[in-house]
Structure 1
């Protein structure tokens, strides 16, 4: 698991438009909220995406871009964005490399069966590429507001 004050792992992943998005694109320009969620158009993930969208202007005023990540495809992300009029980029980490580098692809046990799953997590990365927040196992409801408050202190 990653911790505060360390360099954020670099990444390059395709967004909903099948265009590459790199952490280095924001270096020296914007703070980045990188949040990982299990699956497009599921209850908790929809709550989280909608709440980040509702606060999109406030994040922009705080010089911050919000980027969601799941293992869904670009096409799935496009459908999710259109359905809920989301105002954020969603990265398609279909091969799981980005999830692995941030330590969010973890083993879990449910009903006695072990499997790998996405641990809902959020990272705040400052303009220098340093992690100022590494939150694992977050709850969707109210999370976007909590992250906005932390971003405002940067």
Structure 2
């Protein structure tokens, strides 16, 4: 895991958050102010895929430990709201997910890159995590990370 000190701000535009069987529209910059210490915002390629499921369930299992450190965890993908509800139910996730179907958030954080799969290139989300303090200032960014054990490594970092 590589810690980069690039400077990306928390956006002030509204996003759709899916959690506990409901959806709500919120502003991430305002949401982080409600946290004790800050926000962990992680981007993943697709709901219900092997690596993304491992990462989401790891964050779910460690959610209380992140909360004890004062951090809220939110996952982001380009999947729709219905897909997020299915993912949450199927994997028993207790973390919030953002539906970024228009890729506004993905573009803001520059996580859509050319990727190679089965010998063909396509544009996809590069697994990345950004950590913000209570004031919305980014304190760490991790790009092109591996799903397995990332949540624990990040918890240790915090």
Q: TM-score with structure 2 length normalisation?
A: 0.87
Q: Which moved more, 1:134-143 or 1:14-23?
A: 14-23
Name the count of aligned residue pairs.
Answer: 149
1:14 matched to 2:34: no
Partner of 1:147: 154
Partner of 1:107: 114
Residue 95 of structure 1: how far off its partner (Å): 0.4
**Partners in 1 of 2:157 and 2:139 — Cα distance?**
9
Contact 1:9–1:102, Cα closer than 8 Å, also in 2? no
Contact 2:10–2:137, Cα closer than 8 Å, also in 1? no
**Partners in 2 of 1:147 and 1:4 — Cα distance?**
15
Contact 1:33–1:64, Cα closer than 8 Å, also in 2? yes
Residue 22 of structure 1: how far off its partner (Å): 1.9
Q: Over residues 100-121 of structure 1, what are the superposed CA-to-partner deviations in whole Å (9 max), with x where a residue is unaligned?
A: 1001011223455332111000
The 5 Å alignment of 1:81-120 reads: 81-120=88-127
Contact 1:47–1:140, Cα closer than 8 Å, also in 2? yes
**Partners in 2 of 1:29 and 1:52 — Cα distance?**
17
Residue 28 of structure 1: how far off its partner (Å): 6.3
SS at match of 1:15: strand
Q: TM-score with structure 1 length normalisation?
A: 0.89
Instruction: Please identify runs of 4+ aligned residues in structure 1 that moved more than 4 A.
Output: none
Q: Which runs of 5+ in 1 are unaligned?
A: none
1:28 to 1:95, Cα distance in 2 relative to 1, 3 A: same
Partner of 1:133: 140
Partner of 2:81: 74
Q: Which runs of 5+ in 2 are unaligned?
A: none
1:110 to 1:23, Cα distance in 2 relative to 1, 3 A: same
